[in-house]
Chain A
Amino acid sequence: MAVNAAPRPRRGGGIRRGEARAGWLFIAPAVFITAVFLVIPIALALWVSMSDWNGFQSPLNPRVNFVGLENYAAITVEDGLDQRNFGTAVRNNLYYVLLVVPLQTIISLLLAIQVNRAALRGRGFFRTAFYFPSVTSTVAIVVVFQFLFTASGAVNAAIGALGIRGPDWFNDSTGLVHGALSAFGIDSPSPALAEPGFLGISGWEWLAGPSVAMTSLIILAIFTTSGTFMLLFLAALQSIGSEIDEATLMDGAGPFRKFFSVTVPMLRPTLFTVLTLGLIGSWQVFDQIYVIGGGSAGGTISTPAFLAYRSSFVDLQWGQGAAIAFILFVFIILLTLVQRWVLKERTPRKRNRVAATEKIAANDSTSGGLR
């Protein structure tokens, strides 16, 4: 990657002779490190995903055969356990992403705005408190959550005081949508929805919603990550000058108008960063699942990242594990591109009325380091 990024100097004689060689010499350590830790491992993983390597000795030893797209087919199009496991994992993770990404973005933005208020007493305390979960190890938080969310844990005791009988959170595999439907007396799917559908999962199962166990993990994820993103938003908020506040005040904007028409547009580059990082992070969720045990709660907390690990290390299906990882990789890139396109600054062509604030936001975002 560093190879491509390096500017190609114009060739020629004279005083600039030998510059190219010197340039290559200078970036050689970076090229070497990138190659050894990035390019070659990725190339090897791609090879493994198309081979029948069983995890014994080198993936390049002569007994390993090229099997083409067989590993990819086993998890995507061939009926069977591998396909269903993958389908379930994708379903679980999809609901996880759909809930975690918007919620953590909104919550971290609101937190940032609160701790950014000049009038708030003990700002330092709140900033530290909100950021604290982010610097704590996920494993430690998961263990604490396991105690909080057991059937007789603190959470159930608290909602028990309200007269609600809490579920056995981390072991409950009921999907939220299924649960809601059964409240209306709908407990089983129509015949059409019961048929195995995309990735071997029936429509009824696709619509199950996140299980109670997954919901606990979603709460956990929001709890741990919103502090990090709060910090990003806070930095961006502090770079909004007070003269803009004054200008909006003079223009007669109330707090809501100011928030939606000034603050949020000016935070667009940060918003892009937070959404992108959140999207990538939540499609790769692994450590929580590993600590709890991906097979528990009726398989409703397994994710593709966890499945890639299990196929490789436990079932010795390294090809399938690598194939899952590659599908995830391509999927994340596609989603990020889509998201980038959605959040792209569109200059209004037909309308001449361009609000001054939008202009500033546009300038800000084009000069942002991310683009």
Chain B
Amino acid sequence: MRTSQWSALGLAGALAVTLTACSAGSEGGGGDGGAVEEGLELTMLIGSSGDAETSAVQAAADAWGGETGNTVEVIAANDLVQQLGQGFSGNNPPDIFYMPWDQFQTYAAQGFIEPYASELENSGDFLPALAEQFSYDGEFYCAPKDFSTLGLQINLDAWEAAGLTDADIPTDWDQLASVAQTLTTGEQVGLSMGREYARVGVFMNQAGGTLVDGDSIAADSEENQAGLAYLQELIEAGSLKFPQELEAGWGGEAFGLGKAAMVIEGPWINGAMKNDFPERRFVSVELPAGPAGPSTYAFSNCWGMPVGSETKDATMDLIEFLTSDEQQLAFAEAFGVIPSTESGAAAYAEQFPDNSAFVAGVEYAESPVAFQGAAAAFADFNTQLESIGSAEPASLLGTLQGNLEAAYDEVNG
């Protein structure tokens, strides 16, 4: 009997140690003090596009830290979503982090993040479309960090070599198809873009389609099929190839290598070209309009804060600092993103006329569909898109319809 008591005691002890470790420190919460506290050590987790972004964010955080007497450690994540998941499950999330647009709804629905945005001093300055993107259940959760829209990049050398002029810049689908055909040569394809929902979906929207129509999923609508069918025509004509087929990691690389004369990417392409392909001459123009008018996607991350953060006041002060027009324009200069406030975006368009096409897209930009659970459906859709060259649009969209419906029903009961 004695031995089993001993072993039971030992096991119980070990269990207690582990369990306490698991549940410790869930209390706390931001007090509503007036001035910002001093001497805090905040951690910030960012999904950085490169050294330029990391050092710009670190510099901004240091500037704020110097003003307020705090320190901020900026950690550039290798895999942002994984590291966030790990931080939350280990009960040790970063004090402030990039919240990716495609995960926002999931995190908000699961109660991971603090809905602080309406308490910010500059809460009303953000572009309405972005404020809406980062609202869940009618509540504005987190401040949009910046945003990007998709535009059409044109390689000027290829353009001129093909004898095209400014008057030929495509404004509708037919023109796009014809210039893509003209630009296609032996070594170069006319148009390329990522083989994923976040690019292909633009064409479905331009055809008048939508994925969520009111309270129901309409992924398999005729309009969406028309969008895919248009892309299939380009593929058949040989004027559209995806980066994988061009041995490039993404559209920008295919563009930089000269394997694609036009790509559909966002303002981040400026930084990528400057770093990797500085000799590439190109312009960014608005995406050509489809039969149902112009459409593009707006992508944005927001500054996430874990729910019940103990450093809420200080973090909010930091976020106000980071989202100020001045600071956002500094970020714009450093790594090409567009400020998320109305006045900031306007100043940006003036300061960087080359990028005015991206700002112009805000007028009609839509946010990609990203409700809770949709990410898995889109991951599957992206996989299915590998057969876009041969499959029927109806069957591709039929699968997406089923998966989205299942995810939607789960969220909305």
User: Are A and B part of the same complex?
Assistant: yes
A positions within 8 Å CB-CB of B:
3, 8, 20-21, 24, 28, 31-32, 35-36, 39-40, 44, 54-61, 80-82, 84-85, 150-152, 168, 171, 173, 295, 297-299, 312-316, 318
Q: Which of B1-37 contact A (CB under 8 A)?
A: 2-3, 6-7, 10-11, 14-15, 17-19, 22-23, 26
In the complex, what distance in Å separates the CA atom of A316 from the CA atom of B104? 12
B384: which A residues are within 8 A, CB to CB? 298
Known: A81-B380, A295-B383. 20 other contacts (CB 8 A): A3-B7, A21-B3, A31-B10, A32-B10, A32-B14, A35-B14, A35-B15, A56-B89, A57-B88, A59-B22, A61-B23, A81-B376, A84-B380, A85-B380, A168-B247, A313-B85, A313-B86, A314-B85, A315-B375, A316-B85
CB of B379 within 8 A of chain A?
Answer: yes
Which 6 A-B pairs have CB atoms at the shortest separation, nearest pair first? A58-B22, A35-B14, A313-B85, A55-B89, A58-B23, A313-B82
- Chain A, interface SS category: helix
A61 x B26 contact (CB < 8 A): yes
A32: which B residues are within 8 A, CB to CB? 10, 14
B26: which A residues are within 8 A, CB to CB? 57-58, 61
A60 in contact with B10 given A20-B3, A299-B383, A314-B85 (CB within 8 Å): no
In the complex, what distance in Å separates the CA atom of A20 from the CA atom of B81? 50
Q: Which residue of A lies closest to B106 (CB)?
A: A316
23 residue pairs of the A-B complex, CB under 8 angstroms, read A3-B7, A8-B3, A21-B2, A24-B7, A24-B10, A28-B10, A32-B14, A36-B14, A40-B18, A55-B88, A56-B88, A56-B112, A57-B91, A80-B403, A80-B406, A151-B247, A168-B244, A168-B245, A168-B247, A297-B386, A298-B387, A313-B85, A313-B86
A316 x B376 contact (CB < 8 A): no
In the complex, what distance in Å separates the CA atom of A245 from the CA atom of B10? 54
- Chain B, interface SS category: helix
B407: which A residues are within 8 A, CB to CB? 81
Q: How many residues of B contact A (CB 8 A)?
A: 43
**Which of B3, B23, B406 has the most chain A CB atoms closer than 10 A to its own CB?**
B3
Interface string of B361-377 (1 = CB under 8 A from A): 00000000000010111
A171 x B244 contact (CB < 8 A): yes
A28: which B residues are within 8 A, CB to CB? 10
B386: which A residues are within 8 A, CB to CB? 171, 173, 297-298
- Chain A proximity of B172: nearest CB distance (Å): 32
Q: Which residue of B lies closest to A63 (CB)?
A: B111
- Chain B proximity of A24: nearest CB distance (Å): 5
CB of B110 within 8 A of chain A?
Answer: yes
**Which of B91, B112, B379 has the most chain A CB atoms closer than 10 A to its own CB?**
B379
B10 x A35 contact (CB < 8 A): yes
In the complex, what distance in Å separates the CA atom of A313 from the CA atom of B88? 10
A54 in contact with B110 given A24-B3, A298-B383 (CB within 8 Å): yes
B284: which A residues are within 8 A, CB to CB? none
A31 x B7 contact (CB < 8 A): yes
In the complex, what distance in Å separates the CA atom of A17 from the CA atom of B324? 76
B89: which A residues are within 8 A, CB to CB? 55-57, 59, 318
CB of B184 within 8 A of chain A?
Answer: no
- Chain A proximity of B392: nearest CB distance (Å): 13
Interface string of B24-60 (1 = CB under 8 A from A): 0010000000000000000000000000000000000
**Which of B82, B376, B384 has the most chain A CB atoms closer than 10 A to its own CB?**
B376
A168: which B residues are within 8 A, CB to CB? 244-245, 247
Q: Which residue of B lies closest to A290 (CB)?
A: B79
Q: Which residue of A lies closest to B18 (CB)?
A: A40
Q: Which residue of B lies closest to A9 (CB)?
A: B3
CB of B382 within 8 A of chain A?
Answer: yes
Q: Which residue of A lies closest to B6 (CB)?
A: A24
A171: which B residues are within 8 A, CB to CB? 244, 386
B19: which A residues are within 8 A, CB to CB? 58, 60
B22: which A residues are within 8 A, CB to CB? 58-60
B375: which A residues are within 8 A, CB to CB? 314-315
A80: which B residues are within 8 A, CB to CB? 403, 406
Q: Which residue of A lies closest to B380 (CB)?
A: A81
A58: which B residues are within 8 A, CB to CB? 19, 22-23, 26, 91
- Chain B proximity of A70: nearest CB distance (Å): 12
In the complex, what distance in Å separates the CA atom of A80 from the CA atom of B404? 10
A82: which B residues are within 8 A, CB to CB? 376
- Chain B proximity of A13: nearest CB distance (Å): 13
A3: which B residues are within 8 A, CB to CB? 7, 11
In the complex, what distance in Å separates the CA atom of A20 from the CA atom of B91? 40
A44: which B residues are within 8 A, CB to CB? 18
B406: which A residues are within 8 A, CB to CB? 80-81
B88 x A295 contact (CB < 8 A): no
A313 x B7 contact (CB < 8 A): no
In the complex, what distance in Å separates the CA atom of A39 from the CA atom of B7? 14
B403: which A residues are within 8 A, CB to CB? 80-81
- Chain B proximity of A365: nearest CB distance (Å): 35
- Chain A proximity of B163: nearest CB distance (Å): 30
- Chain B proximity of A129: nearest CB distance (Å): 31
B15: which A residues are within 8 A, CB to CB? 35, 40
- Chain B proximity of A245: nearest CB distance (Å): 52
**Which of A24, A32, A56, A297 has the most chain B CB atoms closer than 10 A to its own CB?**
A56
- Chain A proximity of B63: nearest CB distance (Å): 32
- Chain B proximity of A63: nearest CB distance (Å): 9
- Chain B proximity of A54: nearest CB distance (Å): 5
In the complex, what distance in Å separates the CA atom of A173 from the CA atom of B375? 22
A57 x B379 contact (CB < 8 A): no
A313: which B residues are within 8 A, CB to CB? 81-82, 85-86
Q: Which of B103-123 contact A (CB under 8 A)?
A: 106, 110-112
In the complex, what distance in Å separates the CA atom of A55 from the CA atom of B88? 6
Q: Which residue of B lies closest to A300 (CB)?
A: B383
In the complex, what distance in Å separates the CA atom of A272 from the CA atom of B382? 42
A295 x B379 contact (CB < 8 A): yes
Interface string of B221-250 (1 = CB under 8 A from A): 000000000000000000000001101000
In the complex, what distance in Å separates the CA atom of A299 from the CA atom of B386? 10
A152 x B247 contact (CB < 8 A): yes
A55: which B residues are within 8 A, CB to CB? 85, 88-89, 110
- Chain A proximity of B235: nearest CB distance (Å): 16
- Chain A proximity of B32: nearest CB distance (Å): 24
- Chain A proximity of B259: nearest CB distance (Å): 11
